[in-house]
Amino acid sequence: MLSHHDRQELEKIERWFELTEPALAARLRSGRPARPPLLRLAVLLGLDLTAGLLMLLGVVVNSPALLLTGMITVTAAVIVHLSRFGRD
């Protein structure tokens, strides 16, 4: 349980958020996570599709260069998926 002083400080922070950032305060109050930015989604989908197509094409035409490029692209896609790229 919070002390009286702690509750007062939290109420001050809440009022400050509501005055300075009403959209953020509403989003925090609703408890819903934010949608991912469109740029992040586009980069992730683009990398995933490119990696898959390069690897598939490398296997179909029996090209080690295309297969290696596809594997490098898969590695880049994994790094981007695990990084904080494009997040708030």
pLDDT at 71 over 80: yes
Radius of gyration of the chain (CA): 23
CA atoms within 13 A on the CB side of 7: 4
Give the chain's mean pLDDT.
86
Buried b (16+ CB within 10 A) or exposed e, 26-60: eeeeeeeeeeeeeeeeeebeebbebbeebbeebee
Average pLDDT over residues 66-81: 91
The pTM (predicted TM-score) of the whole model is 0.55
- Model pLDDT, residue 34: 67
